[in-house]
Structure 1
Amino acid sequence: MIFSDSASPHRTDNRTGTGTGARARARTGVRRLGLLVPAVALTLVLSGCVNILELFGDRSEPTGESVSEELAPYYSQVLSWVDCGDGAQCATATAPMDWANPSPETDISLALARHVATGQSRGSLFVNPGGPGASGFDLIHDDVDFAVSATLRENFDVIGWDPRGVGRSTPVTCLDDEGLDEFIFGLPDTPIGSDEWLAESEEAAISFGEACFDNTGPLLQFIDTQSTVNDLDMLRALVGDEKLQYLGYSYGSDIGSYYIENFPQNVGRIVSDGATDSSISVFEVGRVQTAGFQRALENYLAACPTSFDDCPFTGGVDAALATIRELYDRYDADPVAGADGRMMDAGVIDIAMSTALYSQDSWQFLNDLFSEAARGETETAFFLADFYYSRDIDGTYTDNSLEAFIAIYCVDYPVETDPAVLVEQQQLMQQASPTTFRDFPPTGDLTCLNWPYQYIGPCITELTGAGAPPVLIVSTTGDPATPYEWGVALSEQLLSAQLITYNGEGHTAYNGGVACVDDAVDNYFVTGTVPDADPNCGA
């Protein structure tokens, strides 16, 4: 989605360009703050005598279904699964870069990881963590127990894959680590709001787009969600499943929704958790999401004095909001250097705060963030921002999730250019989040306005999924990144959808310890049972 978890449904600081292109979006995805997973070496080391079966591993037999002659080579591939550490198996598939005009000369690779069922397998279950730009490969390879329950692990071969442009699949590549630091954290050299600032911002946006094109090439044009949906249908066939079983978190629900719309005849059982509404504009996505983070902030502030001994706020929610507003104004006027020389302005505080608001379990980080910011300290702010951007302590970026997110977003959604509309939208954004709104000139999204390839969509459409069997939509009332109203809207649009409401805080709900949600999802996947009505969990 836009945002992050994607971003557009995005968290926005209302400026793009130097040092802000990344902060202008909030990505949607399922990630666990504080989970530090070491990089996994995926090299098959061969020494001495190797059994030929061990070398080639397990093979997946494709369904053999009938497709067009030009697509037959892709749907008839045989996947070879090899052990790749932590009990996982890995494979690589080939997909056409352009599904409308497939050509072997431009084929791309898709990386997959799976954990085979611990019991009798009922087939494969594909999982996507969101983003766009998050790695499904890493989620399943490294942390399958976080992704799905023991019940689903027992009954399904659980598969994660890196969508086109992401991670170990043929990736979007734009900047080196130093360049990403400047793009994300660099401050403008000219006064914000001036004509010189606007020119500087546009130049930075153009340079970023050119770097992505130079280092990625024409794949940038075909990085859209619809192409990923086509990839997923091919992968379903390659693992030998007549029907798709799929769990999509956050932006992953977009993939699921478009699959239901495009391939209703191939739908088995699909669950979208942290669902998005594809019928609204990219601005409306951003506005609703921004309001969602404002609500989450207010919920934290209301609970803070009685929940934490070290709560940095007294005097009620309104007083605390005013204090945070003062911090934003203070650090926009006078940024402070962190330990590594990067400057903490209000944008860094904003993305740090948003990161901790994804889950109620992370609220303690907000206490540290605001206490330190009041003292002019930066440690927690950069810790949270670096977690969000997948930046390691040594300054290296561990994945390309940000670059992939921007690339997908820029071709998935049209960009508004009408000055009058932009002014109106800015006013609405201020109403959505008066605490964190930063009054920059309404320039529009300079990164996507200057992107090498423009919107190819369609990503603004009301879906029906006519002909698909029952699917589940899980939505959380206090979800800041994918607000509850989106789940309600999607469940009303898809003709066969059943809503599962979780009354609580945080982004996504399944496998989070809420038995009402977990049991409904597990029973659906294993037995096909659909609740007669919304169980209204946690009410």
Structure 2
Amino acid sequence: MTLERRRPRVAARILRRAAAASTAAVVLAGLVACTPDSSDGPAEGTKTAAPEVVGDVPGELEDFYTQEVVWESCEGDFLCATVEVPLDYENPGKRSIELSVILAEAGGTPAGTVLVNPGGPGGSGYTTVRDSLEGITTDRLRREFNILGFDPRGVGRSTPVDCLSDEELDEARAEILDPSTDAGLEEARASAAEYADACAEASGELLGFVDTESAARDMDILRAVAGDPKLNYLGFSYGTFLGATYAELFPGKVGRLVLDGGLDPAASNEEITLGQARAFEKAIRAYVQDCQTSSGCPLEGTVDDGVQTIRDLIASVEASPLSASDGRLVTVSTFVSGFILPLYNDANWPALTQALSSALRGDPTTMLMLADLGAERNPDGTYESNSYEVFSAVNCLDYPMEADPVQMAADAAELEEASPTLGRFLAYGGLTCEAWPYEPVNEPRPLTAEGSDPIVVVGTTGDPATPYEWSQSLAGQLDSAVLVTWEAEGHTAYGRGNQCIADAVDDYFIDGTVPEDGLVCS
């Protein structure tokens, strides 16, 4: 008999998708790197880092920095390798874990390598480079640079975090709990404790070492084994936090870093959730306004009327879940997940219109398809990634979370005020980590990366997942950062933005031309 493992409705449901969903949105719409004067990067065969690349590292880490790495042809036209890193940087001889990396070679002689992270936490850089490279980079960058993707510790093809079977993950995604009542709160607490126990049993001590700082330290080992003296890096969403953490740890090894869709390192979990609530509500209104100018829009009347139609639809699904064409029951949790996904990219708004039109007629099949796409669920019920589990594991180490019932109730009221459409689905996020078997190892704080080479932060004014204000804050914290702004809707800019954005980023990577601080692309 399979043990039922449940997870409470928490704030993480939207934040969790802030990176993985952006990659899914690219699909729906259609290491460490060397600096330009360094070597050409990995080629098929066995490679070992040169001493001048390794630099001054602690003796107990030298074997990791100088390990032999075998690059082999894989996935068609790519090169792949496995890199060992220490589980615990405080005790590196205790145990090692594996990172899976994939390289897309430049169109000509490479000027260097750019390491890519799509976000998350839990997003797969391996999958992104293999499947979505054209959606997150330009032809010009790919002609000039090798692009390197990796699955961070705990993710996917690297030594993975594991908590739930595929069937249990289906149940967790569809689960509905109401912590706003005393009985619901106790049920949610029990569910969170059961989930934490399942993660601890399946993942073991790995669960305590998937924090962002450890992942950033891994990137420096990847830098060395790739043969690069400095890191060139393209990070989206959560990937901006990972990149900024690297810069804080290794400012002298920063090459050219682009942080697109900034996450504010100084913001608490509760502040992040509230910021997203406001930003998604703003994005919903922008979508409705656009929908009402298009034919076939089911949202009639004013923008307020259209938004209310969406709220009424969500409430009706909450009261009476709908059945999709394959017989699966679509609860409000799954429905809201599907609704959120197209908001990451305004090119996908027509898909949201189609899903809403069908749902208003009683058919949630398209909305379920969107939810499955965001969760990386295959039609046969298997999942392509473990991003759901990784999100909790990383955030519970990175953020102390509020679990006091009185304060959570007050936060819930603030969230619902900020987003009458989605706020109630974002509340009580602290419950997930309350029962976590490992204490947080990080405190939100400003990151300055004093002494680093110039860093480029890119923010999109209508970004629902990483609000523009966070990019402003991140650029203000980093001593050497400049801010580039894209006046547009959707999550992140580079790879889907206009020529102004493309040129600003490409000129920086290829020529070393730092954009003017405050550059606005519209």
TM-score (norm 2): 0.91
Partner of 2:40: none
2:349 is the counterpart of 1:357 = no
Alignment of 1:154-169 (within 5 A): 154-169=143-158
Pick from 461, 472, 483 the counterpart of residue 477 of structure 1. Answer: 461
Note if contact 2:485-2:521 (Cα within 8 Å) is conserved in structure 1: yes
Q: CA deviation at 1:519?
A: 0.4
Q: What is the letter of the counterpart of residue 67 of structure 2?
A: Q
1:107-126 alignment, distance < 5 Å = 107-126=96-115
Q: 1:491: which partner in 2?
A: 475
Q: Equivalents in 1 of 2:314, 2:44: separation in Å?
A: 56
Tell me the number of residue pairs that the alignment of Structure 1 and Structure 2 aligns: 500
The CA deviation at 1:401 is 1.1
Please name the residue that 1:434 is paired with: 420
1:153-188 deviation per Cα after TM superposition (whole angstroms, max 9, x unaligned):
222221000000001100001111111111111345
Q: 1:33 aligned to 2, 6, 25, which one?
A: 25
**Matching residue within 183, 189, 212 for 1:202:** 189
TM-score (norm 1): 0.88
Greater per-residue helix proportion: 2
Show the counterpart of 2:32: none
- Of 202, 207, 227 in structure 2, the residue corresponding to residue 220 of structure 1 is 207
Q: Deviations over 1:484-517 (max 9, x none)?
A: 1111111111111111100001111112151000
Partner in structure 2 of residue 263 of structure 1:
250
Query: Given residue 61 of structure 1, which amino acid in structure 2 is its aligned partner?
Result: A
Out of 59, 72, 84, the position equivalent to 2:47 is: 59
* One of 444, 447, 463 as aligned partner of 2:447: 463
Q: Name the SS of the counterpart of 2:149 in structure 1.
A: strand
State the 1:443 CA deviation.
4.6
Q: 8 Å contact 2:208–2:397 — kept in the other structure? A: yes
Match of 1:281 in 2: 268
Equivalent position of 1:78 in the other structure: 68
* Alpha carbons 1:18, 1:182 under 8 Å: kept: no
Post-superposition shift, 1:340?
Answer: 4.1
Q: CA deviation at 1:356?
A: 1.0
Residue correspondence of structure 1 range 336-485 to structure 2 within 5 A: 336-438=322-424, 443-458=428-443, 460-485=444-469
- Offset of residue 444 of structure 1: 4.8
Instruction: Indicate conservation of the 8 Å contact 1:327/1:374, yes or no.
Output: yes
SS at match of 1:438: helix
Give 3-state SS (helix, strand or coil) of 1:127's partner: strand
Checking the alignment, whether the CA contact within 8 Å between 1:64 and 1:76 is kept in structure 2 is yes
Q: CA 1:488–1:237 in 2, change beyond 3 Å: closer, same or farther? A: same
Distance in 1 (CA, whole Å) between partners of 2:472 and 2:28 is 34
| Aligned amino acid, residue 23 of structure 1 | R
Cα 1:60–1:158 change in 2 (3 A) is farther
CA 1:21–1:215 in 2, change beyond 3 Å: closer, same or farther? farther
Q: Any conservation in 2 of the 1:17–1:204 contact (CA below 8 Å)?
A: yes
Q: Provide closer, same or farther for how the CA distance between residues 426 and 215 of structure 1 changes in structure 2, counting only shifts above 3 A.
A: same
Unmatched tracts of structure 1, length 5 or more: 1-15, 38-54
Q: Contact conserved, 1:305 with 1:314, CA < 8 A, in 2?
A: yes
SS at 1:498's partner residue?
Answer: strand
Give the drift of 1:436: 2.7
Match of 2:240 among 239, 253, 259: 253
Q: Distance in 2 between matches of 1:142 and 1:34?
A: 10
| Alpha-carbon shift at residue 342 of structure 1 (Å) | 3.5
1:130 counterpart SS class: coil
Cα distance 1:403–1:529, how it changes in 2: closer, same or farther (>3 A)?
Answer: same
Letter in structure 1 aligned against 2:512: G
Structure 2 CA distance for aligned equivalents of residues 426 and 125 of structure 1: 41
Cα 1:339–1:60 shift into 2, 3 Å: farther
1:314-353 alignment to 2 at 5 Å? Answer: 314-353=300-339
Which of 502, 508, 514 matches 1:530?
514
Deviation of 1:381 (Å)? 1.4
